[in-house]
Amino acid sequence: MKVCLLNESFPPVIDGVVNVLMNYADYMMRDFDAKIEVGTPEYPDGNYDSYPYPVVAYPSFNTAAQTNGYRTGNPLVGKAVSKLADFQPDIIHSHGPASATVVARLVREMTGAPIIYTYHTKYDIDIKRAMKIDLIAEETIKAMVGNIEACDDIWVVSDGAGKSLKALGFQGDYRVMNNGVDFAKGRVDKETVAKVTAGYDLPEGVPLFLFVGRLINYKNLPLILDALKILADSGRDFRMVFIGKGPDRDSLEEKARALGLMGERGAASAGLNGQGHGVQTTSGAKVFFTGPIYDRNELRAWNTRADLFLFPSTFDTNGLVVREAAACGLASVLIKDSCAAEGITDDRNGFIIEESAQDMADLLMKVCGDLDHVHDVGQHAMDEIYMSWSDCVAKAYERYQYVLARNKVGAMPHRKEQVTDQMVKFVARTMEEEDKVRKTIHEAVGDLRGRAVAMMSMMDHAKASRDTAKLQWNDIIEDLWAEAEELFKQ
């Protein structure tokens, strides 16, 4: 099976959706011998030749300042779209609602392959954050929902994500298709944990809390700091580590400092730990910000070292980091009715709280007195909510086959007609004509080049013949001269 995977970003950008796409590509190739091609907006420092599958990077606009480091792809570049279409995919799977799905619709027009779309995150919040004018934001969201409705099979990563999509105005059906975890199941050895966490003041027996992800306030991160302030004022000792980067890191550090959680001098960078990361050793600090860590085994080490994962986000539609924590036997504290809390049983394989700093502080106060129970809940999380990428991709591949079979016999459900359908058809036809012209010119140039090479070869052959004749004539002259010399001597 040939699968075209599309997204709004790709390395050097690393985020949850990029990880999903790359795991789809890797496991589809490994377990099902699928042929993969990836389409993504181009980033200036992207190295797209280093992957075991072709990556088609189409031109993009620099919108990093408005979108926290992301660029906006230009899907109307015929050469790139035609290259994706030439792959002749059986399935097109888009993981982004903007340029990625516009490209998907154009490729579908050229190939007839069905489009699967996965709704990963609440894009509307980021759009409203980036765009200062409400009307523009609303129209952008409406256009993205229209893009999604134009696809053939809609997937969401949780039931809460589906409800969120419906709240944006989506009219149609969807199915829940969970994402997996690329962490190996099991804890990291003590030696590796000690090496990775070296340099931080993390006393044994003192509860260690952890957060991994984008440092952005709409993930409810200020709530964590407020809860920790309550905990500190109660006299309870603890440590808290934030791993990641994001637009609100500075404000979060300032808040932690103002609350007295980062020691007398705040966050002091003092050398490097064994893994090359800056470490913070300020006297009296209870909260540390490590910055981003991309090495997956290092992240596993931190998840192994921690006692509880704090994830109060009501924004995330899946909370993949919760499953990553569970892979290492680490239980999470989650908000009641959040998407991340789906499948979690309170005090069994996780902890559920109301969305308040006081409720989080009360829970932490309670569980800190019985870390053995906390670790037992973490073990249940490992046994009960962990899901490997191998299993998830197997389910996705099974659904691919179902969608492909229905598409071949013309039995796909009728998708909602979009006002942009005719425009997409027109652009696709125009791109096809442009591609024909390009290929005709390429063939003509190739033919001319072939003729030129043939002529050069003939000339080289003629030159070689002349050179050979010249050598033969020189030999004759030398022989005649030798005979003349001999005669002269006689």
Residue 216 or 319, more confident: 216
Residue 362 tokens read as 């009360």
> pLDDT per residue over 45-55, tens digit each?
889 999 999 99
The count of residues in the chain is 490
Calpha distance 78→58 (Å, rounded):
9
* Nearest residue to 175 (alpha-carbon basis) of 195, 192, 156: 156
Mean pLDDT value of segment 255-266: 82
Looking at per-residue pLDDT, the higher value among 380 and 476 belongs to 380
What is the radius of gyration, based on Cα positions, of the chain?
31
- Check if the beta carbon of residue 299 is closer than 8 Å to that of residue 196: no
Give pLDDT, residue 63.
79
- What is d(CA 40, CA 70) in angstroms, rounded to the nearest whole number? 12
Closest of 295, 15, 121 to residue 40, by C-alpha: 15
The residues with which 272 forms a beta bridge, in sequence order, are: 278
Longest dimension (CA), the chain: 127
Question: pTM of the entire structure?
Answer: 0.76
| Residue 482 pLDDT class (50, 70, 90 cuts) | low
- Is residue 351 classed as helix, strand or coil in its secondary structure? strand
pLDDT at 65: 67
Lowest-confidence range among 18-32, 121-135, 338-352? 121-135
d(CA 13, CA 181): 19
pLDDT value of residue 274: 47
Give the type of residue at 7. Answer: N
More confident residue, 58 or 438: 58
> What CA–CA distance (Å, rounded) separates 159 from 181?
18
Nearest 5°: the CA angle 74, 76, 78 is 125
pLDDT value of position 131 = 61
Looking at 218-349, list the stretches that DSSP marks H as alpha helix, in order from N- to C-terminal side: 221-233, 249-258, 296-305, 320-327
CA atoms within 13 A on the CB side of 350: 28
Residue with tokens 């075209």: 4
Distance, in Å, from the CA atom of 170 to the CA atom of 57, rounded to the nearest integer, reads: 29
Where does residue 278 rank: exposed (0-12), middle (13-18), buried (19+ CB within 10 A)?
Answer: middle
358-395 pLDDT, tens digit each? 999 999 999 988 999 999 999 999 999 998 999 999 99
Task: Over range 11-25, report the average pLDDT.
Answer: 89
Q: Edge-to-edge, what's the strand order for the sheet holding 332-335? A: 287-291, 239-243, 208-212, 308-311, 332-335, 351-353
| Element of type H or E holding 265 | none
Q: Using CA atoms, how far apart are residues 221 and 211, in angstroms rounded to an integer?
A: 9
